[in-house]
Chains A and B, each alone.
Chain A
Amino acid sequence: MIIDIYYVIPEIFISLSLMFLLLFGVFKKNSSSTVYSLSILILIISIPLILNVPSTGELLIFNESYKIDYLSNFIKILIVISTLFVLLTSSQYLKSIKIYNVEYPILILSSILGMMVMASSNDLIVFYIGLELQSLALYVLTSFNRDNVLSSESGLKYFVLSALSSGLLLYGCSLVYGFSSSTNFSQISLNYGDSTQGIIFGMVFILVGLAFKISAVPFHMWAPDVYQGSPTSVTLFFAILPKIAALTVFIRFLYTPFINLIDQWQTIIIFLSIASMLFGAVAAIGQKNLKRLIAYSSISHMGYALAGLTTGTNEGIQSSVSYISIYLVMNLAFFSCIFMLKREDKYHESIDDLSGLSKNHPLLSFSLLIVLFSLAGIPPLAGFFAKFYVFMAVIEQSMFFLAIVGLLATVVAAFYYLRIIKVIYFDNEVEKYDTNHSIGLKLSLIIATVLILTYFIYPNSLIDFVSKIDLV
């Protein structure tokens, strides 16, 4: 038991330091910028700690309720690195809209702690603890800008709907426990034997709850409002991290306890995937607000990530994980660009504000151009490879319908990305924006854009890592 603690050092480190930061913030006045820098430091330190955890094979600890394997470590690294960049990009924004408080980085840290637990969970209860830890922090973060009506509204909306979905999920968990008399993922699949009816019932509830977290159609209704209402830095966090965690949990559920029910869940996931791809592509066309647009775009992207999971093969899981990795880089770059649309401490977020951007800000426009074409999946940018891997896996299983619908949805989606490019490059210019951005923001934009642009030169860089995921 004691030796098990060795494997959860990163989680312990983050939770201890987050408690320390909380105390520090309470007792020391005006310490928000110190806490902010310290939390960045904590994230940097936790990277080697995660790398130190052995990632070969499969390790079950704490009475088999916690799983350490390559997937969990990879996802944790992904979570920590993207949070690092989220914090780097958003400090200036937080200062400008005056929510640069002590609580902000602490809530972020506790949320990713929950996600790390989710990524490693091998037990219904552990999974639920992780899920609630991340959700509770997210409720507060959404409404963090208390003086803003939209922010408070979106916080409330997210809280009510998310609580409902957690309820469904919990109900599903209890059904699964009832019919298999175990909460342990590995035990569940052994226990239910041939009587699958009750289990299927529970599984559907669990999948619905998870689909809500990942904002897959038809459980996506909260996403556009919450994305638009929350502070942009939180929107960025929303667009990336809960999706990574929820996708990992999808993989855990589908490929451990419910692996024998593949015939049943495959249909559900295919439906979720197709509906998300199509709906996300069509609904985004009419949007005027960039944050709302990216909400629909992320719904559509989740459809592609789920498409990889429908296959039931290792290649499918790997393609989903690489999809989400590339997706997070693209989103990071996109939001960095939004953070730069600042004029006299006021942030602009509608598509019309981008009008003629290329004349005054050629480099920013070029980055946006690259990011948008990449989101649309045009080769040779990274976004194309993300889709390419997914469709490789899907077509291997001869699921042509899914592949063709998905690719046609990319054409529809290309339209609204092109519309933004049109506004940037073809329209008349508006006033200049400020150019005094923080180094962290510039750095993340440059890194993300260069990664997207040059990924095709050495695509093995991602495949090397992802191909080690071995679950089936």
Chain B
Amino acid sequence: MMNIPILSLLICVPTVGALFILFTKSTEKYNSHKYISVFISIINFILSIYLWYKFDNSNSSFQFVENREWIYGFINYKVGVDGISILFVVLTTFITPLCILSVNSTIKNRLKDFLVAILIMESLMIGVFCSLDLVIFYLFFEGGLIPMFLIIGIWGGTRRVYSAFKFFLYTLLGSVLMLVAIIYIYWISGTTDVEKLYEIGIDAKYQKILWLAFFSSFAVKTPMWPVHTWLPDAHVEAPTAGSVLLAAILLKMAGYGFIRFSIGLFPIGSDYFVSFVYVLSLIAIIYTSLVALMQEDMKKLIAYSSVAHMGFVTLGIFTMTQQGLEGSIFQMISHGIISAALFLCVGVIYERMHTREIKRYGGIVEVMPKYSIIFMIFTLGALGLPGTTGFIGEFLILMGAFKDNFLVAVIASLGVILGAAYMLWLYKRVVFGELINEDLKNLVDLNKSEVIILTLLAIPSLYFGFYPEPLINTVEVSVSNLIDNYNANLEIYMANKK
């Protein structure tokens, strides 16, 4: 069974499906395309679960590796997964079908094109997490801009053009420096193969500048303060499914990039810039939490909370401790599920009321009890209540931070309190209180498909919250291997310096 190129299949299946949809006509005018694409993405999900099942937890090296010559003697098409990337692959294949299922009456025109864009997006995102060659990684990483630009621009809200342009140009600007760095790595190391680069390492004198070039790309994509401003705009204007993809998976590309490339390839550069990242992360946590408190638009509030959560992630990554890194990965997975669900929750009431202004709501618990329960679960998840995945991620990150730097950990802990403040306040203003607005009285509670989608998201969020073992087991060996490598590299460097 090992001969099946399962990763290439994972990458190709959605694209092939997209082509199939592109060249078929929807006879029953609406649903056939949607069901085909749901079917395709579920096949992909099953494939990825099979991949996870076959994956060997105790082995830290890359598995399911495929290596084919792509440009002669220069770049190979190389994909493979280790404990870190496999989780993101599964997350992607898990979120995409739900995302497609959630598409309903909101996308009125050009449903077919929308589904094609989402499926191609899925291919590219899986590609990002699997690629073991810097150039291939860059192709997937940048290629994702095209479908996302169209998703925001065509199906977005009123200011969609501005947001789409901002999203595209910000990320492109960040990435071009990474391209220069990738090419330079080829010329100083003779290869862009990540596995080989891990072995031979990169000359210490170049590491700082290369680290900065990669950082410029990942910082924009994460997004870190002060280059986070594209995210609220993009989130607010994107259609619900677009926001979900953006929050759940696209932001994780950068976090993954930090772990795989910044730390893996440039330990000396990473070590040098640790305090820099700490400061930016802390500002992101505190500042964007405060900004989130003041938001009047629900989507914008959640978007700012994403920036704060990603601040925790970058903080955890650069503690370089087992707990911090595991916590960051856990936090990314948890944020992927919870923020996706929160955006869907906002989408649900937006569809009914056509407004996202918090002021217009209040007391909807009386008319939408089911909704209120589910929304409660995810609100608590987002603020990190024990028993949800959010808690475990934040807890591990803070543990790692305490190990490394007491002050940083204390300030970051303040962010947890602020997180609770804005999430609970949002929940209070929307769900509790008196039902004043007359329009709200006609609200209909969740329909079947909405309940199914949101429950499917709630299950892993609670399950892994109570029993994080499977996720932790998967990443453990890879993370400890990464840290060992990192410390070994640093020691050699320090010894040479003396």
Q: Please report A residues at the B interface, Cβ cutoff 8 Å.
A: 362, 373, 378-380, 384, 388, 391-392, 395-396, 400, 403-404, 407-408, 410-411, 414-415, 418, 421-422, 425-426, 456, 459-460, 463
B150 at the interface (CB under 8 A from A): yes
A411 to chain B, nearest CB (A): 5
Q: Which B residues between 121 and 171 are near A, CB-CB below 8 angstroms?
A: 135, 138-139, 142-143, 145-146, 149-150, 153-154, 160-161, 164-165, 168-169
B276 at the interface (CB under 8 A from A): no
For residue A370, which residue of chain B has the nearest CB? Answer: B146
For residue A425, which residue of chain B has the nearest CB? Answer: B154
Candidates A380, A403, A460; contact of B139 at CB < 8 Å: A380
Q: Is A407 in contact with B160, judged by CB distance below 8 angstroms?
A: no
For residue B187, which residue of chain A has the nearest CB? Answer: A396
For residue B168, which residue of chain A has the nearest CB? Answer: A418
With A391-B183, A392-B183, A395-B180 already in contact, the answer to whether A411 and B146 are too (CB < 8 A) is no
B456 at the interface (CB under 8 A from A): no
B52 to chain A, nearest CB (A): 27
Which B residues are in CB contact (< 8 Å) with A410? 172, 176
Q: Please report B residues at the A interface, Cβ cutoff 8 Å.
A: 70-72, 113, 135, 138-139, 142-143, 145-146, 149-150, 153-154, 160-161, 164-165, 168-169, 172-173, 176-177, 179-180, 183-184, 186-187
For residue A403, which residue of chain B has the nearest CB? Answer: B180
With A396-B187, A407-B179, A418-B168 already in contact, the answer to whether A379 and B142 are too (CB < 8 A) is yes
A467 to B43, CA, bound (A): 42
For residue A397, which residue of chain B has the nearest CB? Answer: B187
Which B residues are in CB contact (< 8 Å) with A396? 187
Which B residues are in CB contact (< 8 Å) with A378? 142-143, 145-146, 172
With A379-B142, A396-B187, A414-B172 already in contact, the answer to whether A459 and B70 are too (CB < 8 A) is yes
B79 to chain A, nearest CB (A): 15
Q: Is B71 in contact with A463, judged by CB distance below 8 angstroms?
A: yes
Q: Is A411 in contact with B153, judged by CB distance below 8 angstroms?
A: no
Leading 6 A-B pairs by shortest Cβ distance: A407-B176, A379-B139, A395-B183, A379-B142, A380-B139, A411-B173
A94 to chain B, nearest CB (A): 34
Q: Is A400 in contact with B143, judged by CB distance below 8 angstroms?
A: no
A425 to B143, CA, bound (A): 18
With A391-B183, A403-B180, A411-B176 already in contact, the answer to whether A425 and B168 are too (CB < 8 A) is no
Can you give 10 A-B contacts (C-beta < 8 A)?
A378-B146, A388-B179, A396-B187, A400-B184, A403-B180, A407-B176, A407-B177, A414-B172, A425-B150, A460-B71
B283 to chain A, nearest CB (A): 26
Question: Chain B interface mostly helix, strand, loop or mixed?
Answer: helix
A373 to B153, CA, bound (A): 15
Q: Is B172 in contact with A426, judged by CB distance below 8 angstroms?
A: no
Q: Is A408 in contact with B176, judged by CB distance below 8 angstroms?
A: yes
A285 to B180, CA, bound (A): 25
Q: Is B165 in contact with A415, judged by CB distance below 8 angstroms?
A: yes
Q: Is A407 in contact with B169, judged by CB distance below 8 angstroms?
A: no
B174 to chain A, nearest CB (A): 10
Q: Is B186 in contact with A425, judged by CB distance below 8 angstroms?
A: no
Q: Is B179 in contact with A391, judged by CB distance below 8 angstroms?
A: yes
Q: Is B187 in contact with A395, judged by CB distance below 8 angstroms?
A: yes
For residue B141, which residue of chain A has the nearest CB? Answer: A379
Which B residues are in CB contact (< 8 Å) with A463? 71-72
For residue B109, which residue of chain A has the nearest CB? Answer: A359
A91 to chain B, nearest CB (A): 29
A404 to B138, CA, bound (A): 17
A452 to chain B, nearest CB (A): 13
Q: Is A379 in contact with B143, judged by CB distance below 8 angstroms?
A: yes
Q: Is B154 in contact with A411, judged by CB distance below 8 angstroms?
A: no
Q: Is A379 in contact with B165, judged by CB distance below 8 angstroms?
A: no
A378 to B140, CA, bound (A): 11
For residue B176, which residue of chain A has the nearest CB? Answer: A407
Candidates A380, A400, A418, A456; contact of B149 at CB < 8 Å: A418
Which B residues are in CB contact (< 8 Å) with A373? 146
B170 to chain A, nearest CB (A): 10
Q: Is B168 in contact with A414, judged by CB distance below 8 angstroms?
A: yes
B208 to chain A, nearest CB (A): 15
Q: Is A411 in contact with B139, judged by CB distance below 8 angstroms?
A: no
Which B residues are in CB contact (< 8 Å) with A395? 180, 183-184, 187
Q: Is A391 in contact with B146, judged by CB distance below 8 angstroms?
A: no
A184 to chain B, nearest CB (A): 36
Q: Is A422 in contact with B143, judged by CB distance below 8 angstroms?
A: no
Which B residues are in CB contact (< 8 Å) with A418? 149, 165, 168-169
Which A residues are in CB contact (< 8 Å) with B72? 460, 463
A373 to B149, CA, bound (A): 11
Which B residues are in CB contact (< 8 Å) with A384? 139, 142
A418 to B142, CA, bound (A): 15
Q: Is A404 in contact with B71, judged by CB distance below 8 angstroms?
A: no
A393 to chain B, nearest CB (A): 10
With A373-B146, A395-B184, A463-B72 already in contact, the answer to whether A456 and B177 are too (CB < 8 A) is no
